[in-house]
Amino acid sequence: MINVLVVDDSAFMRKMLSDMLTKHEDIHVIDKARNGKDAIEKVLKYEPDVITMDVEMPVMSGINALKEIMLKHPTPVIMVSSTTKAGTDTTIKAMEYGAFDFISKPSGSISLDIHKVESDLIGKVLLASKVSLNTLNLKPIVPKKTLKLNEQDNHFSKKEAGNQSVKGLTKVVLIGTSTGGPKALQNVLPHLPKDFPHPILIVQHMPKGFTKSLSERLNTLSEITVKEAENGDILKKGVAYIAPGGYHLKVRGVGTSVAVNLDQSDLVNGHRPSVDVLFSCFDSIDITDFIAVTLTGMGSDGKKGLVNLKETKRVIAIAESETSSVVFGMPKAAIETNLVDEVVTLNDVASTIIKYC
């Protein structure tokens, strides 16, 4: 049995979450807590396998409780977040402090329709119970100095980098990730130098709202520009574009430039945005070279897209190793294609990207 501690300041939400979880035969709600302080006491008493943690609570917030739990008794924690700006910002920070993943409340702090996330919640609890605590405690490395490009001598500011329109674009970096991705991206993008010579397109499986907070957080930590992709954005070197939640990230030609093309077509592999869609959207675009990176995540999204990309373009494929992956599903699926050129730990992903620039 997977013993779960449910933490929420609302008695209604505690009951609803507990009722949903106990529908699964392998899950047992060992106890409930009404705030972060109460949660810490019960974690030390009952030693649960997984915790669901409300983000905003009186007495002690979810994120403060998370920090203390990861110090005193590391445990996989799934944050239960509202979609307010404060809620999404705090949730992104929770990923840095060791939270396994999160689910978003459909309609505010007390969501009468919380049943909408039942299958997602149960799936994440089952997965969290198997995760290696070593990967959750892997701290994001924010460098004092970024890595240097090989044989490059381009020096321009972050602001100038964002103004460099890529005409006659020949190479693009593509990154796909899911569970564990926010922290993984924080171990990659801040290491890239401000004169990074290619645009970067990123699919991170996340709901609407959270990708905005993620891009803003990564932008403050990075010398390159990181932004949530907007329809019509012209791809520019030194800029990373993160697919907004609820939209597939594609591209289209605009004269001699290449632009972001967002759409809300059908889910692919259960996702929108989808890594397969990103990896497969360049068939009609005259770009010859790619660096395709698959980081931590559940499932196999990106596997078919990588096969398609390798068949039609010149591609260096990089996958995160099992050693550092929070969830080895997506990297493993990529490796199983036998098309991956480099399998590296998370701390070596940025330097490997730069090696092939």
Q: Which tokens hold the place of 218?
A: 């990564």
Q: Residue 107: what pLDDT?
A: 58
pLDDT by residue for the chain (357 residues), tens only, comes to 999 999 999 999 999 999 999 999 999 999 999 999 999 999 999 999 999 999 989 999 999 999 999 999 999 999 998 877 888 999 999 998 999 999 988 655 666 567 788 999 999 999 999 998 888 876 666 665 677 776 543 433 444 444 343 455 889 999 999 999 999 999 999 999 999 999 999 999 998 889 999 999 999 999 999 999 999 999 999 999 999 999 999 999 998 899 999 999 999 999 999 999 999 999 989 899 999 999 999 999 999 999 999 999 999 999 999 999 999 999 999 999 999 999 999 999 999 999 999
Question: Would you state the pLDDT for residue 339?
Answer: 98
Structure tokens at 234: 């012209």
In this structure, the chain runs to a length of 357
Instruction: Give the type of residue at 106.
Output: P
pLDDT for residue 165: 39
Q: What structural domains and CATH numbers belong to the chain? A: 2-130 (3.40.50.2300), 158-355 (3.40.50.180)
CA atoms within 13 A on the CB side of 237: 20
Using CA atoms, how far apart are residues 247 and 271, in angstroms rounded to an integer? 9
Active site residues: 178, 205, 301
Give CA 330 to chain center in angstroms: 12
* pLDDT for 134: 85
DSSP H or E segment with residue 316: strand 314-320
Residues near 1 by beta carbon (within 8 Å), at least 6 away in sequence: 26, 27, 28
**Using CA atoms in the order 339, 343, 347, 348, what is the torsion angle rounded to 10 degrees?**
-80
